[in-house]
């Protein structure tokens, strides 16, 4: 079970950049091919940019050609949560940080094996931790 991090809207505005706030707290989307992690091939763990919670392993990252960093699966069941999103005139599945509820992106059923999932994330919602890998214990 993940301990929830709860902050007021004013606290989030102060802690985040204007762009991070728009995407992570207001459910915005960065432009395709504009994020720093779209073409990133570095190893490590992708963490929530709002609270540092571990979300995705670089091992699960793949080039979807969509313009956003994409992953086949989250790091664990405790990493993210999904919820229905009927905005933008279509039904999608939103992906949020399980710890702080930050909007990360959406998941689609058109990814590669083994999961068939494409977790399409906003780079601005992520921080790549190149040093600490909780799967291997290395730092």
- Supply the residues annotated as catalytic: 120
Report d(CA 124, CA 30) in Å as an integer: 7
For the chain, report the end-to-end CA distance as a whole number of angstroms.
Answer: 24
Could you tell me how far CA 77 lies from the centroid of its own chain?
A: 14
Tokens of 117: 């999932």
Report d(CA 47, CA 54) in Å as an integer: 4
Contact yes or no for 69/37 (Cβ under 8 A): yes
């Amino acid at each position: 079970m993940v301990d929830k991090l709860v902050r007021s809207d004013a606290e989030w505005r102060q802690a985040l950049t204007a762009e991070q706030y728009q995407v992570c707290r207001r459910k915005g989307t960065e432009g395709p091919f504009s994020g720093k992690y779209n073409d990133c091939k570095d190893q490590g763990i992708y963490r929530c940019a709002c609270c540092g919670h571990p979300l995705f392993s670089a091992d699960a990252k793949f080039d979807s050609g969509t313009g956003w960093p994409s992953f086949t699966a989250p790091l664990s069941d405790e990493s993210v949560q999904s919820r229905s999103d009927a905005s933008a005139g279509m039904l999608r599945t939103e992906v949020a940080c399980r710890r702080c509820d930050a909007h990360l992106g959406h998941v689609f059923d058109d990814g590669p094996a083994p999961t068939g999932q494409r977790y399409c994330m906003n780079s601005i919602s992520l921080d790549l931790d190149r040093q600490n890998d909780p799967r291997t214990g290395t730092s």
